[in-house]
Amino acid sequence: QKVFITCYRALIFPLLIREGKPTPFFTFVLALLFCIFNGYLQGRSLTTYATYPAGWLGDSRFITGFLGWLIGMAINIHSDHILRNLRKPGETGYKIPRGGMFEYVSGANFFGEILEWFGFALACCTIESIAFALCTLFILGSRARQHHK
């Protein structure tokens, strides 16, 4: 799960963006280091320390978490698609996104990603996955609030 979303965010999403503001190199390096550290932490936690009872994949916590992750990812990807296609080529200015979850929340892309990682945390039930979900909530929640204003 984590690998797919990281690949989407790091490799696929940037190639789909038509134009936009350049990302400062320092911001890129910090984001890269965070993703490497977090990926290591999540992977190490799940492969070395987490233990699950037999039948965990059929447990309601895992199934609910997996569905939350899947729905969150779908919302995130669809919202990114809407945002990428807000303006026609050469067009500038602010536009309010419409459609999908943007009909219910102004930061649908942020909402989708937050839902993804809380679903992941529920499916994994590790302190590391919960910590990441909370960090995602605080960081993206503040960005969503800023975008809403």
Query: Cβ neighbours of residue 101 under 8 Å, at least 6 residues apart?
Result: 75, 78, 79, 108, 111, 112
Q: Per-residue confidence at 88, pLDDT binned at 50, 70, 90?
A: confident
Task: Give pLDDT tens digits for 6-31.
Answer: 666 666 666 666 666 677 888 878 88
Residue 2 has pLDDT above 60, yes or no: no
Q: What is the pLDDT of residue 14?
A: 64
Task: Give pLDDT tens digits for 94-137.
Answer: 788 999 999 999 999 999 999 999 999 999 999 999 999 999 99
Q: How many CB atoms lie within 10 A of CB 31?
A: 13
Residue 124 structure tokens: 């994994």
Average model confidence (pLDDT) for the chain?
87
C-alpha to C-alpha distance for 74 and 68, rounded to whole angstroms: 10
Q: What is the pTM of this model?
A: 0.81
Question: Which percentage of the chain shows pLDDT scores above 90?
Answer: 59
